[in-house]
Every structure is written in C-alpha cells, then in structure tokens.
Amino acid sequence: MLMTKRALWIAALIAMLTPEAALAEPIVIINSQHNLNYASITCSYPNNAKGIAECKLFGDGRNLGRRFENEVSSQMATNTRCQGVHVFWLTDHDYDGKINYDELADQMKQAHWELFLEYQPGRTNHNWTLFPYTGGEVPKLLDSGTVSGEGTVSQIADQICIAVTKRGAKHPLKRP
C-alpha cells in the first residue's frame, strides 16, 4: 500500500514538472506545392540583381524553393526550441512526380499546422505563414490562430517552433 502511494506521488510530481508532456507533440506539414510554385513565380519577376543571378544559376525556381524548405527543416532539426515538433512534407505533384496525401493521412487526421514558405531570390529575409488545422477525417482550417513572420532561415525555424509549441503569446479566440 505504501509503495502504491509513493508511486502515485512520484508520477504526479513528474507530471507537474513536465506539463508539455501532457500536450500532443506539434505536427508541421511543409506545403511544397505552395512553396515551390511561389519560388518559381518570384524567379519569373526577380526585383534585384542578386535575385536575377540566383534564379539563372538554379534554372527552375522550384529548385530554390526546395533548397529553402531543406534549409528551414535542417535548422528546425538542430534548434532545441523545436524539440518534440514533427515535420513532414506534402509533396508537389509536378516537381516530385506524386503527391503524398495517403502517406500523410495519419498526420492530417491530427491537429496540425500547414507551413507556407515564401522564398525571395537574392534576399536573406523571407516570409512564412502557419495555418492551424483541426484533426479528424476532414481537417478544417481554424478561423483564428494563423501565424506569420519574416526572417533569415534560422530566425524562421526559431519563430515557427515558438509558435507551434505555444511558447509565444496566446492568440485571442476571435479577432476584432
């Protein structure tokens, strides 16, 4: 009896000291179709000399979009604020030869964030937006909670992880 009470007390103490353990680990799905197409379009109309040179060097602007996705996800993998964040790709049918909805079915049935990355050729700062979705058979975009920002690759990774792990400010339920 004494061992059972002690075990319960220890379990309760651990639960109080690690509140994030009670929360589901965040899921981020990188939307390659948006990201690669955005990079391709911006390469069609680069607005600075460095961007023009970069787009010419990489040929297909989607290659820059994929490189940007890889850089952001690599920064997330090495950022301690991203601990527990699961990152997946929703592929681009045209670029990757298929779209992987079926492979992501389990992740999309859970509450998750969809990440749009907007590469700006020739610049060091880029834009990003996170869209929160409900879980369920048919995930729905939440009316509030969209988060966006701008920064370098490492700043973007940091900002995304602060947002999805809820370490930043709380959003109101409805915006005025």
Q: What is the pLDDT of residues 69-118, one digit of tens each?
A: 999 999 999 999 999 999 999 999 999 999 999 999 999 999 999 999 99
- Indicate whether 17 belongs to any domain: no
Q: Read off the pLDDT of residues 146-173 as tens digits, 9 standing for 90 and up.
A: 999 999 999 999 999 999 998 877 765 5
3 state DSSP class of 152: coil
Exposure on the CB side of residue 61, measured as CA atoms within 13 A: 23
- Indicate whether 125 belongs to any domain: yes
What pLDDT is attached to residue 19? 41
Q: Is the pLDDT of residue 8 over 70?
A: no
What pLDDT is attached to residue 5? 52
- Domain residues for the domain of 121 are 25-164
What is the pLDDT of the chain when averaged over all its residues?
Answer: 86
- Indicate whether 14 belongs to any domain: no
**Of 5, 6, 168, whose CA–CA distance to 81 is shortest?**
168
- Indicate whether 172 belongs to any domain: no
- Indicate whether 129 belongs to any domain: yes
Q: Are 165 and 26 in contact (CB under 8 A)?
A: yes
Question: Higher-confidence residue: 23 or 166?
Answer: 166
Around Cβ 152, how many Cβ atoms within 10 Å? 14
Q: Are 60 and 94 in contact (CB under 8 A)?
A: no
Beta bridge partner(s), residue 130: 115, 147
Please count the structural domains in the chain: 1
Q: Stretch 123-130: mean pLDDT, rounded?
A: 97
- Indicate whether 47 belongs to any domain: yes
Q: Stretch 50-61: mean pLDDT, rounded?
A: 91
Q: Are 126 and 151 in contact (CB under 8 A)?
A: yes
- Indicate whether 170 belongs to any domain: no
- Indicate whether 145 belongs to any domain: yes
- Residue written as tokens 């990201």? 35
H or E element that contains 28: strand 27-31
